[in-house]
Structure 1
Amino acid sequence: MARRLLLATLAFGLILGLIFAIFPEIDLWAASLFYDQQTGRFPMARDEAGETVRNLAYWVPYLLVAPSLFVLIRKFVFPRTKMVIAPSVALFLVGSFIAGPGVLTNLVLKDNWGRPRPNQVEQFGGKSEFEPWWRPGGACHRNCSFVSGEGSLAFWTVAPAMLAPPAARPFTVGAAVVYGISVGGLRVTFGRHFLSDVLFAGVFTVGMVLLFYYLLLAPGRRNDAKLEAQLDKMAFALHRGIAALLAGIGTGLARLGAGLRHAGQALLRRADRD
């Protein structure tokens, strides 16, 4: 199932890419719906209620991933303790969170693609040229428009939604997708992202979630006992590495101390002779 959904997501991404490549004006049209020509602004960007909703929505994914992150950290600090969350589940949630919203969205795309945000382009009172999604290297140099970071975070909630019982999973996953569209759509109304930024954030993030699900939780591949044993080995190796490092630092400091002591004694003897 996860593999079929992953392939379907990739196919949807290809179709989406073609549509927005052939008709890039869709992005401008969608942004224009929320732009006030008279004031030259996106009114929703100054709406306090909208900003409050945005701030609350921002922290939801962090709250959802926090228990799994805590369990993994605890495992590395206390390797002999049994994990209270299944290792495959904890690694699925934390891994997809880091790889999707973390690495792919923020490190790879947002800081390198160069696409200006809607409120930065000439059509909406800015100074930069509009760039379609497929053309990197625009005027933006950092924290750019493609793809939506907050949209990616919101779409990541598909991960915990996929842990629901099979009968409820279509509803929980559907609710997570709606949540992602809503949070990303709010950024469109603020003039901070184009529609394609949000949709591609969903494709990339959901695709990453499905990939991790297939690798860790798909029937026939899931093996929590093996995963926990591997985590134990990694934790003990980390402890040994830290112990060796501390021992090395201690030895170095001891040698330094001995050298300083001998130097001090030599200076005292010279002072006595003088």
Structure 2
Amino acid sequence: MRRDRVVRPGLGGVGFAVSRGWLIVPVAVGVSLGILFAAFPDWDIRIAALFFNPQAAKFPLSVDYSANVIRRIANWIPYLLLAPAALVLLRKLIFPASSMLMPPSVVLFLVGSFLLGPGLTSNLLLKENWGRPRPNFVQQFAGTAPFQPWWYPSSACTRNCSFVSGEASQAYWTVAPASLAPPQIRPFALGGAVVFGTAVGGLRIAFGRHFVTDVVFAGVITIVIVAVLYRLMLDPLRRNDARMERAITRASAALHRGIGTLLTGVGILLTLSGWALGEVGQYLRGRAGRL
């Protein structure tokens, strides 16, 4: 065995049995509900209608002060859980020679799963391109846009659309830090993370901002991404924290060299620009003196 291979206790065994289950279960749930809601797309409308007030032509909970406070607090929780890993990585990028205060595999797993899940897949790829109008924008709920089933990309919405729920995706991402809990309590931590994600998604449904399928697929996609990265980065047979840290150190050093080269180029450009401006100024002053 290589000496620089570091295997942290508590991340194999039961953890990988759990990760396999958490990879299979969301795929099965996604396929089942995807087929069900494709066959009966009006179920999205019927569930959203439970929270809509036709007389007021709005979703009352969306303007409720307490509900919005809960929403804002819940939205901060994923960022607070991500912050330690993000700060450790930022410190390493600023000071390449320093040792990382957390295992590099854990840092990259948390930061990478957040960027790939809620960041890239949910908010950039799907929300900005799928074109599904939000419930409070569709004709059935006093809006003007046509309702679109989850499987049908359209141009009815052009920006910050309904499929999938970004906030639910962030909330479901908490399965990533939950998967790092000690093996004895990991299933409970994972279950709590899913309950949290479902509660946040349920609040968005009650607000009329998302359909059920927006929340379901936010959870499915995010949990699958987390489970795949967990197996790729924290598998004891693949995991090598020493090698990862050396790679991050090289990347940090390359980043510093790149920034240094860029600043040098900018400095040279400013110097040349200053010289040229000085020459023009001298010429104008001399010309003005001859008038």
Flag whether TM exceeds 0.5 (same fold).
yes
* Cα RMSD after superposing both structures: 2.0
Residues 131, 138 of structure 1: 8 Å contact kept: no
Selected match of 2:175 from 134, 150, 158: 158
Aligned residue for 1:85? Answer: 102
Equivalent of 2:254 in 222, 237, 249: 237
TM-fit CA distance, 1:60: 0.7
SS in 2 for 1:251: helix
Give the number of aligned pairs. Answer: 274
User: Within 5 Å, which residues of 2 pair with 1:183-194?
Assistant: 183-194=200-211
Give 1:211's match in structure 2, choosing from 223, 228, 231: 228
Instruction: State how 1:33-72 maps to structure 2 within 5 Å.
Output: 33-72=50-89
Verify the 8 A CA contact 2:44 2:212 in the aligned structure 1: yes
**CA pair 110-272 structure 1, distance change in 2 beyond 3 A:** closer
Question: 1:1-33, CA deviations, whole angstroms, 9 ceiling, x for partnerless residues?
Answer: 335532442233222211110111211111111
- State how far apart, in whole Å, the 2-side matches of 1:260 and 1:148 are: 53
**Which residue number in structure 2 is paired with residue 137 of structure 1?**
154
Match for residue 149 of structure 1 among 166, 176, 195: 166
Tell me the TM-score normalised to structure 1 length: 0.93
Once the two structures are TM-superposed, the CA of residue 58 in structure 1 deviates from its matched residue by 0.8
Gaps of 5+ in 2: 1-15
| TM-score, length of structure 2 as denominator length | 0.88
What amino acid sits opposite 1:117 in the alignment? Answer: R
Sort the Cα spacing of 1:264 and 1:160 in 2 relative to 1 into closer, same or farther, 3 A: same
Give deviations 1:159-196, integer Å, cap 9, x for gaps.
11000011111000000000000010011111111111
CA 1:272–1:211 in structure 2 vs 1: closer, same or farther (change >3 Å)?
same
Q: Which moved more, 1:247-256 or 1:19-28?
A: 247-256
Structure 2 residue matching 1:85: 3-state secondary structure: coil
Q: Quote the Cα distance in structure 1 between the aligned partners of 2:39 and 2:275.
A: 73
Structure 2 CA distance for aligned equivalents of residues 118 and 249 of structure 1: 49
Q: Distance in 2 between matches of 1:32 and 1:263?
A: 71
Amino acid corresponding to residue 31 of structure 1 in structure 2: A
Once the two structures are superposed, residues 38-72 of structure 1 have per-residue CA deviations (whole angstroms, 9 ceiling, x without a partner) of 32221111211111100110111111111111111
Provide the secondary structure at the position in 1 that maps to 2:27: helix
1:251 paired to 2:268: yes
Call closer, same or farther: CA 1:261–1:50 in 2, change over 3 Å: closer
SS at match of 1:89: helix
Query: Paired residue for 1:106?
Result: 123
Give the fraction of aligned pairs with identical amino acids, expressed as a percent: 53
2:41 corresponding residue in structure 1: 24
Q: Structure 1 residues 39 and 265 mapped into 2: Cα distance closer, same or farther (>3 Å)? A: closer
Post-superposition shift, 1:264?
A: 5.9
Q: Which moved more, 1:220-229 or 1:28-37?
A: 28-37
* Matched AA of 1:247: T
Corresponding letter in the other structure for 2:132:
R
User: Does the CA contact (< 8 Å) of 2:133 and 2:157 recur in 1?
Assistant: yes
Question: Which whole-Å CA distance do the structure 1 matches of 2:28 and 2:172 have between them?
Answer: 18
Structure-1 separation of matches of 2:286 and 2:22 = 81
Q: Which moved more, 1:143-152 or 1:252-261?
A: 252-261
Return the letter of the residue paired with 2:198.
I
Equivalent pair of 1:3/1:211 in contact (CA under 8 Å): no
CA displacement, residues 62-95 of structure 1 (integer Å, 9 cap, x when unaligned): 1111111111111011001111111111111111
Residue-by-residue CA offset, 1:110-145 (whole Å, 9 max, x unaligned): 111111111111211111111100001141111111
